[in-house]
Amino acid sequence: MAKKPAKSAASSGGKKKGGLASGLGMLVMGVPLVILFLPTVVLLMFAMLPTVVAYMVERGPHRYGFICVGGLNFAGVAPYLLNMWFERHDITMTLDILSNVFALMMIYGAAAFGWLLYTATPSLVGSFLSLTSSRRIAALKAQQRKLIEDWGPEVMQSDEDIGSEAASKGPATVGGGAMR
């Protein structure tokens, strides 16, 4: 039995150091960015609350509700975010947006529309599939009637009818011997 190669000290230590270095790098880069973009962070923190709730509430593996609510929630906050970026990027502009009732209705209304879309879509798709399958069944029955008219009622026999006829006739014989 062959021995497994021993792990080198560099490969095992590199992963731990890389993880620590990565976390430290994120901290060193993240803190100044949060301070520099504080008005944006504050606006997104309060405006994207429905997305955070959707992420925490949904338990499915794909989290489609989070995607649907998050996308529409961000679409609701994007005009105000862009307005803030191109006019005044300060905390007073953020507080003006967050204290504007129309802006909050627009932002949270878009998120509510995301929830509505997420909850209504499965039933709409189910209804659509039901209608299309019933139309397909009707088309197949019309095609079956046409085949019966063209070929006669023998084509209407099911596999069970054919199997019961074969069983009642007995085993098939080829060259004088029974097939098994």
Burial (CB < 10 A; 0-12, 13-18, 19+), residue 40, is middle
The band of 166, judged by pLDDT with boundaries at 50, 70 and 90, is: low
Q: For the segment 34-46, what is each residue's pLDDT rounded down to a tens digit?
A: 888 899 999 999 9
% of the chain exceeding 70 in pLDDT: 79
pLDDT number for residue 172: 55
**Which residue in this structure is represented by tokens 């039995």?**
1
Q: For the segment 21-31, what is each residue's pLDDT rounded down to a tens digit?
A: 788 888 888 88
Structure tokens at 106: 């627009």
Q: Does the model's pTM come out above 0.75?
A: no
Structure tokens at 165: 């006829």
Q: For the segment 74-112, what is each residue's pLDDT rounded down to a tens digit?
A: 999 999 999 999 999 999 999 999 999 999 999 999 999
Apex 104 CA angle, 90 and 80, nearest 5: 45
For residues 32 and 25, what is the distance between their CA atoms, to the nearest angstrom? Answer: 12
Question: Which of these ranges, 24-28, 109-113, 147-151, 154-158, has the smallest mean pLDDT?
Answer: 154-158
